[in-house]
């Protein structure tokens, strides 16, 4: 099972000190795949609000987060992009749970030319 995150940046890879910082969520001990094609590495990932604020190859203090998830033996990765999805009913499915459970956070719909038209009225109807 992959734990999903927004994109990890090389600038966030444990540079600098982390003494005294507080996080909302910390994912510990997982193997981070950052989407660049580089080999995975063991790291702790700290999140504040909706942002990844630190990816550290050194263990971060467990007491520095309101919630800690042990990801030992699991993959921690950015959300996946589905470039060929049949999304016709998707806007009517609460939270797109079936895609999110597979790690998909972005999808391209209509690559076959079968999308609803006009798109604006379809999107408006999905909001009601």
Residue-level pLDDT at 10? 37
Structural domain for 95, as ranges:
80-126
Mean pLDDT value of segment 1-6: 43
pLDDT in tens, 95-112: 778 788 888 888 777 666
pLDDT in tens, 63-93: 999 999 999 999 998 888 888 877 766 666 6
One domain for residues 10 and 26: yes
- From the list 97, 91, 93, the residue with the least C-alpha distance to 122 is 91
> Phi and psi (nearest 5°) for 93?
-100, 120
pLDDT in tens, 4-26: 444 343 334 443 345 678 999 99
More confident residue, 24 or 3: 24
In whole angstroms, what is the distance from residue 40 CA to residue 9 CA? 14
One domain for residues 14 and 72: yes
Residue-level pLDDT at 36? 87
% of residues, the chain, pLDDT over 90: 38
pLDDT in tens, 30-62: 999 988 889 999 999 999 999 999 999 999 997
Dmax (CA) for the chain in angstroms is 54
One domain for residues 8 and 48: yes
One domain for residues 89 and 62: no
Domain count, the chain: 2
Residue-level pLDDT at 78? 82
- Residue 49 in tokens: 């609000």
């Amino acid at each position: 099972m992959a734990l999903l995150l927004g994109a990890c940046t090389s600038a966030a890879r444990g540079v600098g000190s982390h003494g005294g910082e507080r996080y909302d969520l910390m994912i510990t001990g997982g193997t981070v795949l950052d989407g660049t094609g580089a080999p995975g590495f063991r790291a702790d990932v700290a999140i504040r609000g909706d942002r990844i604020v630190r990816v550290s190859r050194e263990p971060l203090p467990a007491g520095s987060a309101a919630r800690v998830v042990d990801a030992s033996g699991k993959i921690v990765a950015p959300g996946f992009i589905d470039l060929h999805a049949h999304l016709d009913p998707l806007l009517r499915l609460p939270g797109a749970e079936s895609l999110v459970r597979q790690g998909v956070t972005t999808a391209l719909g209509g690559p076959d030319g079968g999308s609803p038209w006009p798109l604006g009225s379809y999107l408006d109807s999905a909001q009601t």
